[in-house]
Structure 1
Amino acid sequence: MIKPMSIEVLFTSESTATGGGREGHVKSSTGRIDQNTNHPKEMGGSGEGTNPEELFSAGYAACFLGALRAVAGKEKIQVDDASAITAQVGFGKDPDGGFAINAHLIGYLPGFEQAAAEELMEKAHQFCPYSKATRGNIDVKLSAKV
């Protein structure tokens, strides 16, 4: 039995994977994502196309930057338009013989003091839906560069 969602859903995104997953194709219902998927060269693949970790890192970076701006706005903190978030998503073997991912979120926050940038990153991490979804499931490291 599927547990009912505890959120008021504002919209739903939908994508479908076909083929072999990592060696296949992904397409969103809107058609905005329409990509072949391949193993990266580091895993013996061609490196052509995209992979799940690349797609996840793009979504996490965009979501986290939005969360950072929302938190800053609530606190009347000005965030420069040159500010950015880089999400590095690692893929590797876990101790149980399976596979897992981790993430490193790097905030580029020009004009901030280091301590203020780190505090804003931590507050955004508490607010971001991707961070909430992964909390307790994957290791996430935060860094701030000013």
Structure 2
Amino acid sequence: MSKITKVLATGKTRTTGTDAAVFSGNHEGQLDIHLTSPNIAGAREHRFDAIEAHPTAEQLFAGAWSACYSAAVGISAKQLKVTLPADTAVEIEVDLGLGGNEYFIQARINLIVPGIDPELAIKIAHAADALCPYSKATKGNIDVALNVVTA
């Protein structure tokens, strides 16, 4: 795995709740989203000054991963017979950056479970990481930091 030495853009999400989310697109069941490339001043020859503000690929990836990981947290907690607090949240940040002359992504997953025993929270976080298909897809491919906040 290559390391990012310069972060160019970050897509951040926060997902609350641990049950599967329902997302609906248009009446035909399709999703119509206009994407934006991150506006990276000075990154090689690319500048995107004339692009309207829409979600970036990093934000969409973080959002999809966050929803999936949140559902995995809910499943993992139920398997461990743990009732999660109502203010449980998942924050995922996906960075786009440079490592030498190459573009890469890296991520941070923050599981926020106020009032839960820290060791139990870490167990839930790792169980969810093992269950979540997005976490499985990224494992060994990009740098990912998994953090737990219980305070």
State the TM-score, normalized to the length of structure 1. Answer: 0.72
Checking the alignment, whether the CA contact within 8 Å between 1:84 and 1:108 is kept in structure 2 is: yes
> Which deviations, in whole Å up to 9, do the C-alpha atoms of 1:98-130 show, x marking residues without a partner?
211111000110120222212211111111111
Greater relative CO (CA pairs within 8 A, separation 6+):
2
Q: For residues 127 and 52 of structure 2, what CA distance do their matches in structure 1 show?
A: 35
Aligned to 1:140: 144
- Partner residue in 1 for 2:70: 65
Q: 1:100 to 1:47 in 2, by over 3 A?
A: farther
Q: Corresponding residue for 1:39?
A: 37
Partner of 1:13: none
Whole-angstrom distance in 1 between the partners of 2:52 and 2:148: 30
For the 8 Å contact 1:41–1:47, the answer to whether it is kept is: no
CA distance in 2, matches of 1:101, 1:123: 23
Gaps of 5+ in 1: 1-26
RMSD: 2.0
Shift of 1:47: 6.1
Q: What is the match of residue 29 of structure 2?
A: 30
For 1:9-28, list aligned pairs within 5 A.
Answer: none
Aligned residues: 117
| Conserved 8 A contact 1:63-1:128 | yes
Q: Give percent identity, aligned residues only.
A: 27
Instruction: In structure 2, list runs of 5 or more residues that go unmatched.
Output: 1-25, 42-46
Query: With structure 2 as the length reference, what TM-score do the two structures score?
Result: 0.70
SS across alignment from 2:29: coil
